[in-house]
Chains A and B, each alone.
Chain A
Amino acid sequence: MHTSAQQFKPQAHDALANPVIRKNFRGAMDFLRNKRKGVIPDDAEFHALQKVCEQIKQQCLAELPELLEQLEKNCLANGIQVHWAETPAEANAIINALIDKHSGVDVVKGKSMVSEEIGLNDYLDARGKSCIETDMGEYIVQLAGEHPSHIIMPAIHKNAQEIGQLFHDKIEDTPFTTDVDTLINIGRQQMRKRFEHAHIGITGVNFAVAETGTLCLVENEGNGRLSSTAPPVHIAVTGIEKVVKYLADVPPLLSLLTRSATGQVITTYFNMISGPRKSDEKDGPEEVHLVLVDNGRTQAYADEQFRATLQCIRCGACMNHCPVYTRIGGHAYGTVYPGPIGKIVSPHMLGMENTQDLPTASSLCGACEEVCPVNIPIPTILQRLRTQLNQGNADKRTLRGAGSARKASEAMIWKVWRYLCVHPRLYRLATQSVARLRKLVPLVKSPWNQGRVSPKPAPKTLNELLHKKGKTNANKPWMIV
């Protein structure tokens, strides 16, 4: 299933009408919310750590250009070769060339959302290279010809029944089962074979430490460790915002990352990759490469407020707690990153003209901001994105595709609204007139009427009632100024 951000509304509509999607996501999100709550029982402790993590990320972003240079220098000193990619096309070309250089065709990949972002699987596929996903969830969606519906739980939209059927259909000699342990073992057997022969291993990076040139990788299945150690060449691909200044920055970020993401105090694996195999070492890759991807991030970086978008450590807590995501699931967004973080990061990657419906698809309830481990003010950023979408003044259009959703009719409505609101007599006249016509309100149909009747104005406004009272009973202890 391939979705696109331009088709957000029809995709959301279809998802809402699908009872399996509704049930799978509600159940999964409830599970993840409860898991998180289990390891973050104390709000005060969370807020203290959240503040620390926010400040670490803000400080790192404030020094981003210098830290990236320092990271490159220290990675090179460790023997990690560093590559820079401004666009997905550049990143894919770099990775493809590295694979060619080693005459590789068999690629194993640990979970990496940046590799999804650049469309690496399709790119390699088109060039005769076979890139197999080794994270169980990613493997499932790859087998199904789909894309992840969640950044941490890529196959969360599928239940055991669907996965059992998929394995039965796609993997030879596999009887249908819904037993989760059996299913995991089936997947594991498939991957084992690939790990033995893979030429290239690709992974993401959770934290790239500038002061030591270390790449940190957080995972639960051991596939990240295998992908980064078994094949002779390891290519790590990540966004430029993942750099942190000090090694000491990692523990607090890691603590909130795993607790926010999966409700774990720590993940099963935490890898610190500090270079290729040394001459006296018996294993590990012979070459390690780091591909640093921009893909619109510098646009967010350039604006003081949008820069907060880059604080994200990709825990997924915002989607787990989002009432919109819970109901429509991840595919409806049509973006690699779904949910609240997807709404604020995708416009920089894809342009506002291609993501017009995303910033408005929020009630601004603030559940995302409340749980964000690095305190990204997502609702405030959504509001800013809306001003960019509707921006009439060309000088104030700072984002790619800004102003693309501006409608003259809508702009006119807000101009009239403003005029009424700053002219109280006219406002009174308008609201009283609507009150007089209250019987006509049910006749006016709008999208609001989907599952709701229109609210009926009261026969008299509060202002009108108070005016009347004021005149008839001037001794009342209230008054109208």
Chain B
Amino acid sequence: MQIPVRCYPPKPDKVYLYGTCLVNSFAPESGLDAITLLQHQGIEVVYPAGQTCCGQPAFNSGYTDEALAVAKAQAALFPEPWPVVILSGSCGGMMRKHYAHLAPNDEQLAEFASRVYEFSEFLLHVLHIKLEDKGESQQVTLHTSCAGRREMGIHPYGESLLRQLDKVELLEHNYSTECCGFGGTFAVKHSDISAAMVEDKSRNLRESGASQFVSTDWGCMLNINGALEYQQQPLRGLHLASYLRQRTLPEHSPEQE
């Protein structure tokens, strides 16, 4: 399916942040780094405390009633017409593409989904951000998530942002468009197929020669980092928000704030 061309609004004063359940529990620093980057662009960040999960785990498992109840509860937490910046192409894809599958005639869900922007998409196309690299020379490779690529079409944006960093060399890796094997409950229900996929993915990332890999999705990274740790390899993935914050605003680490 072709992803429709998107028209972007002018730079807003305020945005909502949708952290996602994985960032909330496993990588809160990605959320803090994203907030820091947005604030430094003069944006006020509003974080509705009631947010939990986009509903994707239940949806993908075939529990649509449960997913719909959760989706409606999320949309209700974002009543103002501000953009919703989300830290995952996968959760973003759930909202942008699949909320309409859950409830085709639900206007509130549709209106909410129309305001959802993935983080790299928002920096690039709404803020037109100009990044100033303050880090040392480094070679990185970018893992793009399948939902980010095929449900949201945001896969080129991480690369565009990384290419703004003077001292960062972006390396290609083999089979970059192929799935890492996460797929939510797939990784548990068909763990050996999933494990074979992530074994290949982690090897391809390592063989790129990069000392760091970056991604816009913590789902993939929990999977890939888990495999790299199991293999006792030093390479780890970092969320794009954290990487950009470290490179451009090194003095604003979450620990120091």
A residues neighboring B (CB under 8 Å): 9, 12-13, 16, 47, 51, 323-324, 327-328, 357, 359-367, 369-370, 375, 377, 380, 383, 385-390, 410-411, 414-415, 417-418, 420-422, 424, 427, 431, 434-435, 446-448, 450-458, 460-467, 469, 477-481
Contacts and interface: CB of A to CB of B under 8 A. Distances in A.
A360 B187 CA distance: 10
Given A363-B194, A390-B61, A380 B101 contact: yes
Judged by DSSP, the binding face of B is: helix
B150 A422 contact: no
A367 B178 contact: yes
Given A434-B25, A452-B195, A457-B25, A478 B35 contact: yes
B193 A457 contact: no
Contacts of A466: 31, 47, 49
A364 B191 contact: no
A328 B198 CA distance: 14
Interface in B33-70: 35, 39, 44-53, 55, 57-64, 66, 69-70
A451 B49 CA distance: 35
7 contacts: A363-B183, A370-B1, A448-B226, A452-B198, A455-B225, A457-B26, A464-B28
Interface residues of B, number: 79
Contact of B52 (A361, A365, A369, A424): A424
B26 A458 contact: yes
B189 interface: yes
A127 B150 CA distance: 50
Interface of B: 1-2, 17, 19, 21, 23-29, 31-32, 35, 39, 44-53, 55, 57-64, 66, 69-70, 73, 77, 98, 101, 146-147, 149-151, 177-179, 181-200, 222-223, 225-227, 229-230, 254, 257
A388 B61 CA distance: 11
A390 B66 CA distance: 12
B146 A462 contact: no
B25 A47 contact: no
A451 B45 CA distance: 39
A478 B45 contact: yes
A260 B151 CA distance: 22
Contact of B66 (A328, A357, A415, A462): A415
Contacts of A386: 60-62
Nearest to B79: A481
Contacts of A377: 1
Contacts of A13: 192
A26 B199 CA distance: 14
Contacts of B63: 387, 390, 411, 414, 418
